[in-house]
Structure 1
Amino acid sequence: MQIVRTTLAVAVATIAACGCWTQTVEAADKAKGAGAASLVDETLRREAAEGIDDRAELLKPALVGSRPSPSVYWHSGFLYDPTRRLWLLPEEIQQRAAKDRRLTAYRAFRSTRAASERGRAELARWCEKQNLPDQARAHWTEVLDRAPDDPEARRQLGFVSVNGTWLSQQDVADAQANLAQVDAALARWTPKLENLLAWLQKSNSPARDRALQELAAIKDPDAVPAIESLFCATGGETALLGIELLENMKAAEAASALAWQAVFSPWPLVRSEAAAALRSQRKHDYVPVLLAAMRSPIQARYGLYTSPDGGFLVRRAIYQEGPEGSQLAVLDVARPAVLLPSNKTVMTPMSRQESRELIRRAQIEDQRRQWLNLAIARARAMEQIRQQQAAIAAENLTTASLNTRLGSVLAEATGNAQPASPDEWYSWWYNYNELTSPGQQPTRVTYQAANQPVVAVSQVPTIRYAVSCLVAGTPVWTELGPVPVEQIRVGDRVLACD
């Protein structure tokens, strides 16, 4: 009999002290006597056959006479508190919760916090300080509902980022354990199946028949990876034999392998036989696998916004829906116009007016070059947008093709024809299981910003005038006679002392 331990809900969790009906989980786990198990089985049998409704009364002897097992506790109406490792009756839970000052303070503090991401995070931190782990976990989960990538909430809930995807530590441990199990299974089954394949190649009919009999007798799900590797991956009759072996195994691992072969095998006949073989498998063993492979098309929006100085910003927004939520990635790339100062220095005796004219012409050239650079940058940005749109369109075509194949396999296996749309198949699966659609799913939003200025170097030089040590009005002897120094021009011959 499978033993179920029900964790207390957050609203009634956190018990203060022991009572007359409490036992430590260590004591409960050690007592699984045959007498108690028999009493539980007999009580459940009578309840089903005779309609009795006093199960707790009938199981009382098992609670009083010996150390009760978890099965006796559970079927007697007790609830398990994993924090204190106690089995408690519902009325005990209510009494102790009413006396727990921490819960009273918690409810008061909760009423003062906003229902925002920040407010829920503050509430979760407070619960951690008050040693209320269930409540803290509940409020960190609320934070993730509002901000799926909040690093503090993810860390507090035990998630780690693996290739951009948040996984719980249990997910990582399960994946590692599954990989180790597959490696061990391949090491154990590959030599056996290689030997049987060698016998199949022999023309000797008794040897071939014996090999087929041994293959048909394989029911161990651990053999699935080796069957896929040695049989299904080779094509022809050997691949079809592999499909037959998987079909006869009747295990979740075999159904998952058949689903993969039905979609991705490079041989149409193998895909067709695998899809047909799925009809005899449990839907819950292969439908979730196929639904998880379906993808919604990528939706992309692009914008190019020009600023008054001629610079621009390129915004890319990529959106895709999924069965457990949607993803929105926004990237803003700013391309401001930046003019670096010139490193040129000009020593000149020209007049101020002539210098201003030189600078004006250089500024006009700067502006022309800057606008030209921006025009080139905008053209390149538009070309990148067109290339990305083409790549997304190609990706969506691939997605549509895959969805069509997945939908075809689902229709063949389940006998239900649906459009090749993930939403339609998700809806069918919810209805099949008599579940309510979860409705609006959370959207994971990522935002990145980059600054890539369009740079030009100014052509405006730094003017340094040749300044004389003579004040204005000082006469300078020229070949035409004395001339005020400020009126001397290039080309005038002056008298000088060597």
Structure 2
Amino acid sequence: MKLLSSVSFVIALFAVVLSSSQSPATQVGSSSADTLFRQALAAAARGEATECEQLLAEVLRTDPDYQLARWYSGQVHYDGQWMPINAVGQMVSSDPRWDEYQARKLETGNSPREHASLARWCRTEGLSYEEKWHWLNVLASDPDNREALGRLDLRIYQGQYMSPGQIKEHKLHAENAEDDFKVLTKRYQSWIAKAIRANSDDIEDTVKKVSEINDVAAIPALIEIFFLDMKTDKAVLSKLGDEQGGRLLSDLRLAVVQALTQMEQHEATWALLQIAVEWPDPEASNQAAEALIPREKSSYMPTLMGALSSPLEAAISVRVAPNGQYTVYEDIAESHPLVRNSHFKTSKFLNQHTLTINKTSTVTDYRGMRDWTDRPKVSRQTASVSKTWSERNRDFNNAMAQASGSRERIDLENSLREQRNANILKVLRIVTGEDLGSHPSAWWKDWNIYNELNTPEKLTDYQTYEEQDYSRYSYQNYAQNYSGSVGTPPPRPPTTHSCFVAGTPVWTQSGPVRIETVQVGDLVLSQDPFTGKLDYRPVLETSVGPPSPILNLVIDHETISTTRGHRFWVVDKGWQMSKFLKPGDRLVAQQGWPELLSVEKANESEAFNLVVGQFHTYFVGNQKLLVHDKNCPLPNIAYLPGVEQISVVKPSSLRN
């Protein structure tokens, strides 16, 4: 079973590089600090903000290094010390170094040399965040720049930028995963060996044990032994026969699907997706597809959409010129979710021969010579006769072979695409409950609508051109000439409807600013959805969307006006589009978790959005609501950023 091809997309350099600055995994505090921290979050989830603040303060008195408590108290580690967000804003906004930096940034171009120069200035002034931003820009143009790599403490490892600590952690993780794989594959092989030697009760016991596995680390071994390893099939079938052995293998695979269904982690989602699409037995593949239905759509739908392929469209013709040259014209087009690519190719065939007969006459005239001391008169006349002809049959056959070969390759590719699409469409029909036909474009359009993306009616067409000249002349050496364009321009991203109206406060390093005034390179307050880390991250891109429907989200003392597709973090639900928010939902914010009082429709309006480095999040509104940027979020099953499930029931010990 081969791996699915996933969505092809470009990962911003900044997202990769900035991860090197991320703190190590959140420290585990004492058991008492852990208990107090979870009680604090539970209080916030119940809307008891004062009690939450008191409990977080108690956590920090118990364990001052408890990072999650720092972050959820609204503190960031800035300039070597823990500081409240508001204190950072006051310090930066009144710092003359920062004002001078803003002036220098406006005068600085976008070349690696200029970014390096400003980075060095930031270093001398102690502006570490700003320095890092400019070194990242240097690496974007010069990936091997030694000074930038040194200042960012990065190495290139397996094609990625990593810090020495990350490289060490990556190697350790790989070693542990390999050790787990070896141990678990042997364990599962022993289970199978015991089952096929024993009676029906032991077989049922083996199937039951497989279905109850709940360790994510076991997934690679489960897939290898029960789906990929042909030795397993051979051993079972040779011992039990085709009928009984086939039933056992089917039951074991269904047990694996059941085990994966009980695991919430994305590794299980990915394994279910592979089985649903790739496994030929409909019983197991359909059950795997059904197991995807309750999971967050963004954890598997982008992969399915990216794996769909539209058929190649080809127009191929052969023409002959008066000089006997045959030309094959090939126009091959392919549609993608956001762009259409066209490739136009011409191939010329002409085998031409030229015969030239040169006739030279030389006449010596002795008349008029008085003696042999006189020279005779010599005259020369040259006449040339040329004949040119071409091998029309040979040229015709070559041209037709080129055209026929291209048609056969395209037909074969389209047949393969149709087979792959059939497997993917089967899964899409199960997980969505809809049947939008067999052409990918209908599914792509539906997914764009779900995500509130504004795509043009007619896709942008990127064209490339290629010319091959196979002409051969008898008086010339054979030459093959090529001209044309190389590569395909990257598709322009669709205009998103997931934005905020002008005037919405965005929290930056210097405090709140209107979203329409945010510039690329500004540092905004951001939170890592996976670790909970609170820090400042650079804005990589700003965008303005066309007028689109607006929803007013009414919370205590504030109304946030946003588009239907923007994602907010909802307590115990994770990222939710605003169109799915309901009164009573609690939105994650830096100043308590306000309850959503109502969702009201408003007039269409132009709206603004950002792309933020690494964490892809920022905070809006006076209460600092946590929102995602314009990118699709990565799968995350956490209750809160960096926090797993907690109980919101008030402990009896706190009721007195």
Q: TM-score per shorter chain, which class?
A: 0.5 to 0.7
Deviation sequence 1:202-222 (CA, Å, 0-9, x none): 463443344344334333333
Which residue number corresponds to residue 494 of structure 1? none
- Residue pair 2:360, 2:381 contacting (<8 A) in 1 also: no
Aligned equivalent of 2:251, options 236, 241, 266: 241
Distance 1:31 1:210 in 2: 38
What is the identity, as a one-letter code, of the residue corresponding to 1:458? Y
1:77 aligns with 2:74: yes
Q: Is the 8 A contact 1:291 1:426 kept in 2?
A: yes
Report the secondary structure of 1:355's partner residue. strand
Counterpart AA for 2:427: V
Aligned pairs for 1:434-453 (under 5 A) are: 435-437=451-453, 439=455, 452=469
419, 430, 433: which one aligns with 2:437:
419
Q: Report if the CA contact (8 A) 1:128-1:136 is conserved.
A: yes
Deviation at 1:437, TM superposition (A): 2.6
Q: CA deviation at 1:50?
A: 4.9
1:214 lines up with 2:209 in the alignment: yes
Deviation at 1:448, TM superposition (A): 8.2
Taking structure 1 as reference, are residues 248 and 199 closer, same or farther at Cα in structure 2, changes over 3 Å only?
same
Structure 1 residue aligned with 2:382, among 347, 355, 379? Answer: 355
- Partner in structure 2 of residue 296 of structure 1: 310
The separation in 2 between residues aligned to 1:159 and 1:333, in whole angstroms, is: 45
Query: What does 1:138-287 align with in structure 2 at a 5 Å threshold?
Result: 152=142, 168-169=160-161, 183-202=178-197, 204-232=199-227, 234=233, 236-249=246-259, 250-251=262-263, 252-276=266-290, 278=292, 286-287=300-301
Structure 1 residue 107: Cα displacement: 3.4
Q: Superposition pairs for residues 36-115 of structure 1, below 5 Å?
A: 40-52=37-49, 67-80=64-77, 87-88=82-83, 89-93=85-89, 95-96=91-92, 99=96, 100=98, 103-109=101-107
State the Cα deviation string for residues 376-433 of structure 1 (Å, max 9, x = none): 557634542342233223322332332233122222244343333444444555666x
Partner of 2:612: none
Which of the pair has more CA radius of gyration? Answer: 1
Supply the distance in 1 between the matched residues of 2:156 and 2:323 (Cα, whole angstroms).
44
What do residues 296-325 of structure 1 show as CA deviations (whole Å, max 9, x unaligned)?
3334566989999987987766554546x6
Question: CA offset at residue 436 of structure 1?
Answer: 3.0
Is the CA contact (8 Å cut-off) linking 2:319 and 2:327 kept in structure 1?
A: yes
Question: What TM-score do you get using the length of structure 2 for normalisation?
Answer: 0.47
Contact 1:43 1:58 in 2 (8 A): yes
> Alpha-carbon deviation of 1:196?
1.9
Question: In angstroms, what is the RMSD of aligned CA positions?
Answer: 5.6
The one-letter code of the counterpart of 2:255 is L
Contact 1:56 1:77 in 2 (8 A): no
CA distance in 1 between partners of 2:459 and 2:64 (Å): 47
CA distance in 2, matches of 1:52, 1:191: 52
| 8 Å Cα contact 1:31/1:69 also seen in 2 | yes
More strand by share: 2
1:397 paired residue among 415, 418, 424: 415
Task: State the alpha-carbon separation in 2 of the partners of residues 273 and 159 from structure 1.
Answer: 44
Amino acid at match of 1:227: L
**How far apart, CA to CA, are the structure 2 residues paired with 1:161 and 1:308?**
59
Question: Measured at CA, do residues 209 and 290 of structure 1 come closer, stay the same or move farther in structure 2, by a change above 3 Å?
Answer: same
Q: Is the 8 A contact 1:27 1:67 kept in 2?
A: no
Structure 1 residues 76 and 127: CA distance shift in structure 2, 3 A: same
Of residues 283-292 and 397-406 in structure 1, the stretch that sits farther from structure 2 once superposed is 283-292
Q: Distance in 1 between matches of 2:171 and 2:465?
A: 32
Counterpart in the other structure of 2:525: none
CA distance change for structure 1 residues 282 and 95 in 2, over 3 Å: closer, same or farther? closer
How far did 1:180 drift?
Answer: 6.2
Please report how far the alpha carbon of residue 198 of structure 1 lies from its aligned counterpart in structure 2 after TM superposition.
Answer: 2.5
AA partner of residue 250 (structure 2)? L
1:455 and 2:472 equivalent?
Answer: yes
Superposition pairs for residues 328-367 of structure 1, below 5 Å?
A: 328=341, 330=343, 349-350=361-362, 355-356=382-383, 359=384, 361-362=385-386, 364-365=387-388
**Identical residues among aligned pairs (%):** 17
Equivalent residue letter for 1:256: W
Quote how far apart the aligned CAs of 1:108 are: 1.9
Query: Using a 3 Å threshold, how does the CA distance of structure 1 residues 154 and 452 change in structure 2: closer, same or farther?
Result: farther
Distance 1:303 1:175 in 2: 54
Shift of 1:188: 1.7
CA distance in 1, matches of 2:339, 2:441: 13
Distance in 1, matches of 2:222 and 2:319, equals 57
Count of residues in correspondence between the two structures:
403
Structure 2 partner of 1:147: none
**Is the CA contact 1:243–1:258 (under 8 Å) kept in the aligned structure 2?**
no
- Report SS of the residue matched to 2:49: coil
Whole-Å Cα distance in 1 between the matches of residues 468 and 199 of structure 2?
Answer: 74
- Distance in 1 between residues matched to 2:413 and 2:394, nearest whole Å: 29
Bigger helix share: 1
Equivalent residue letter for 1:266? P
For 1:210 and 1:423, the matched residues in 2 are separated by 47
Partner of 1:14: none
Query: Could you say if the C-alpha distance between residues 271 and 50 of structure 1 is closer, same or farther in structure 2, counting changes exceeding 3 Å?
Result: closer
Q: Match of 1:296, as an amino acid? A: S
| Counterparts of 2:194 and 2:107, CA distance in 1 | 74
Choose between structure 1 and 2 for higher RCO, CA contacts under 8 A separated by at least 6 residues.
2
Is contact 1:317–1:328 with CA below 8 Å preserved after alignment?
no
CA distance in 2, matches of 1:27, 1:393: 52
Distance 1:408 1:449 in 2: 38
Following the alignment from structure 1 to structure 2, what is the Cα–Cα distance between the partners of residues 160 and 260? 31
Deviations 1:232-273 (A, max 9, x none): 354832332133222321234444333323332334444445
CA contact (8 A) 2:219 2:268 kept: yes
Q: Is the 8 A contact 1:247 1:254 kept in 2?
A: no
CA apart distance, 1:77 = 1.9
Structure 1 position 87, deviation (Å)? 4.4
Number of the residue aligned with 2:498? none
